[in-house]
Structure 1
């Protein structure tokens, strides 16, 4: 069901219920007023007849009275009247009545409704000085008046309701025009177009929706850009390892066909295995970098101890790069906790990349100093110091770029510092590189962890 029809049904039903309640209230009030007016007419008619009777010559109260016949008179408008004598010593005697009177001798003084001859009558009886005057009116006359009023008011009411619904439909159509404009703008876009929407004149209620759509387009644009970057990086960086693997396998196959010495074949296969390992490491680095830049992490708040993560990373690198003998870990000067709001896996990845980078570029007979420092109550800083060739100021500017390598002959993918920079940016940290006369000093700083 469309939004227009839903709004029309909800608002139209609400208005119809309100106007129906008003109509019923007016009908009930009119019914009460009509009955009051018609009852007053019955009473006024009886009083008028009584005043006329008072002008007639009066007889002695004890004189006998025996009329020879009742006087039938015609009446109009459905109103009937009966006049009779009502003395204490005799049975009431009918004096006169209008044509069509149903016989009102049994009616009690005052107002009353009686069923006479299969028809309901509204009766008023006035009894004074021995004279009894009864006026009556059929109930169907009153119901006819109410029915005529309902018909005369109901038809315009229905016409007004239908007209209101038509106007409401036009108003809803006009009110939803900004939404229709947004829909047309989005429908007319070509695939891949993630540019922001143009300025749209919309009421304040729709501005949050437009703002949300704008932010969604920006996020989609960022996601597409990251996908393009990942595809370009993968195509650029994986081509060489794949070529090397293919070449070494072809050399090994050729050696087997030509009965080449076994060491030559083994060396080619070892080179292919090393290329596959480099290819796997590069893919893992690219995927990690893409995940960090996309912010694909759960919303839970992490409390990761930096010193424990540093020591674990050194142990993990001990077998592959001899880190246990070459890395010297300096704990903080005090025993206070040094935790940060960074996922453990990402903090460990950042530390491993810094240590691997230092161990690759430093001479094998030198040590790498690392540790953490507390910068007051607001931050914790990890440092890694090697004694390698260092970097020039211009090289430091490019060090965090993807696939940048100062020495292509040194093993690596050129993604280590780029990953560390992405993790630092995502979690409010800062990566700083300094190169004194010899070696390179790297500082990785994060805010102190807070609960919640």
Structure 2
């Protein structure tokens, strides 16, 4: 069942139930009020007759003739006056002989000729004055009042249901516009959704959906970029490996060994490229996938140096590293520092050393990597973090994947840090990697 029908059903039933309860309450109160009003009228009639009787002379009853008036029974009202001895002095209906006699004052109900009547007796100076109403007349009056009240009630109820239906139709119109907007979209359309005159209750849902579309678009962009990068970078190594294997199968054993060695080198480079691609895709994914457990800088440095074959060329100045802690996953921090050191080793002469220093600010820990490599002092460093950019190294066997510094920049950005390069005066680079610090003492 649609939301509109559910709302219409539940609200319509609620309206009908509440209006019915209100009508029953109103009818009960109206019936009681009418009974009280008619009883008061009956009592007022008796008192009025008593007032008229009090104005008659004392011998008026002896001079009166027949005490029975010829009022038809269909009039629905009756009156009788009795003397203190019980003698009927005046009666409006002759056929009511003895049926209007009431020894005690007050109200009572009585069947007269098979019809219910309401009687009231008033005593004044010994005279018993009894007035009566036929209850059928009261029932007819109540029925007429109910009919008059029910018609506006039914009209108001039907009008309320109509207004409810129109209000629901108008109120749910933004949902219908949202449905049409979504149904018209192509599967690859991820632009934000705009619904005109959207109510405040629907706006959070639209904003959430738009944020989901943005995240989905970013995820698709990352997947497409990863697919494109993988296809671009893996084609050449795979072709080279295939060529070396084919040569090894055709050449004599002495030369086949060299072809197999070249194939193994290509496999190692391919493996490294795949690892870098996967790490970059992971870094660019949702940051909630990373566990930001604080880690000591000394642990990061030791792990990064352990993965480098030329770690002996790195001179470390980490006197304060033991007391510094960063708010970043150990694996990502280690990968970022290792890539910086590996890049510096690759672009520096084999006889030169690399300087690694660790400094701190109140908010950041700065890893400084200094080399005397082949980077000119006057050259701009903007291209260093571009994907697959290798500069003057080209695509030689030691050129790397062209993703190392891109990964470092992505890790720094994701962790809330920064990667900055500064050319050195006589050639080489200073790479400054900043990561968030976990402070162990307050700063003044």
Residue 325 of structure 2 corresponds to residue 329 of structure 1: no
Using a 3 Å threshold, how does the CA distance of structure 1 residues 355 and 196 change in structure 2: closer, same or farther? same
Alpha-carbon offset, residue 446 of structure 1:
2.3
- What CA RMSD, in Å, does the superposition of the two structures yield over aligned residues? 3.4
Q: Which residue of 1 aligns with 2:299?
A: 308
Alpha-carbon offset, residue 119 of structure 1:
6.4
Alpha-carbon offset, residue 434 of structure 1:
1.8
Q: Which residue of 1 aligns with 2:340?
A: 354
Q: Which residue of 2 aligns with 1:432?
A: 420
Q: Which residue of 1 aligns with 2:349?
A: 363
Q: CA–CA distance in 2 between the matches of 1:115 and 1:366?
A: 129
Q: Which residue of 2 aligns with 1:133?
A: 129
Determine if contact 2:68/2:94 at 8 Å carries over to the other structure: no
Alpha-carbon offset, residue 232 of structure 1:
1.0
Using a 3 Å threshold, how does the CA distance of structure 1 residues 10 and 348 change in structure 2: closer, same or farther? farther
SS at match of 1:449: coil
Q: CA–CA distance in 1 between the matches of 2:113 and 2:273?
A: 108
Q: CA–CA distance in 2 between the matches of 1:295 and 1:7?
A: 39
Given candidates 197, 213, 217, the residue that maps to 1:217 is 213
TM-score of the aligned structures, taking structure 2 as reference length: 0.84
Q: Which residue of 1 aligns with 2:151?
A: 155
Determine if contact 1:330/1:371 at 8 Å carries over to the other structure: yes
Q: Which residue of 2 aligns with 1:235?
A: 231
Counting only pairs closer than 5 Å after superposition, residues 243-322 of structure 1 correspond to structure 2 as 243-255=239-251, 260-261=252-253, 263-298=254-289, 301-317=292-308, 321-322=309-310
Q: Which residue of 2 aligns with 1:78?
A: 76
Q: What's the CA shift string for 1:108-142, capped at 9, x where partnerless?
A: 42234567888654332211222212223344543
Q: CA–CA distance in 2 between the matches of 1:356 and 1:118?
A: 117
Counting only pairs closer than 5 Å after superposition, residues 170-185 of structure 1 correspond to structure 2 as 170-185=166-181
Q: What's the CA shift string for 1:171-221, capped at 9, x where partnerless?
A: 332333333223322222223122334573444444444433433333332
4-13 vs 395-404, which deviates more? 4-13
Using a 3 Å threshold, how does the CA distance of structure 1 residues 158 and 69 change in structure 2: closer, same or farther? closer
Q: CA–CA distance in 2 between the matches of 1:450 and 1:156?
A: 76
Counting only pairs closer than 5 Å after superposition, residues 41-120 of structure 1 correspond to structure 2 as 41-58=41-58, 73-87=71-85, 92-95=86-89, 96=91, 98=93, 103-105=99-101, 108-113=104-109
TM-score of the aligned structures, taking structure 1 as reference length: 0.82
SS at match of 2:385: coil
Q: What's the CA shift string for 1:157-182, capped at 9, x where partnerless?
A: 22322222223322332333333223
Counting only pairs closer than 5 Å after superposition, residues 11-30 of structure 1 correspond to structure 2 as 11-30=11-30
Q: Which residue of 2 aligns with 1:38?
A: 38
Alpha-carbon offset, residue 305 of structure 1:
2.5
SS at match of 2:288: coil
Q: CA–CA distance in 1 between the matches of 2:104 and 2:47?
A: 16
Using a 3 Å threshold, how does the CA distance of structure 1 residues 37 and 401 change in structure 2: closer, same or farther? same
Residue 375 of structure 2 corresponds to residue 387 of structure 1: no
Using a 3 Å threshold, how does the CA distance of structure 1 residues 420 and 108 change in structure 2: closer, same or farther? farther
Matched length: 432
SS at match of 2:274: helix
Using a 3 Å threshold, how does the CA distance of structure 1 residues 105 and 424 change in structure 2: closer, same or farther? same
Alpha-carbon offset, residue 149 of structure 1:
2.4
Q: CA–CA distance in 2 between the matches of 1:118 and 1:18?
A: 40
Alpha-carbon offset, residue 246 of structure 1:
1.8
Q: CA–CA distance in 1 between the matches of 2:95 and 2:282?
A: 100
Given candidates 384, 407, 411, the residue that maps to 1:419 is 407
Structure 2 gap segments, 5+ residues each: none
Q: Which residue of 2 aligns with 1:441?
A: 430
Structure 1 gap segments, 5+ residues each: none
146-155 vs 280-289, which deviates more? 146-155
Alpha-carbon offset, residue 237 of structure 1:
0.5
104-113 vs 426-435, which deviates more? 104-113
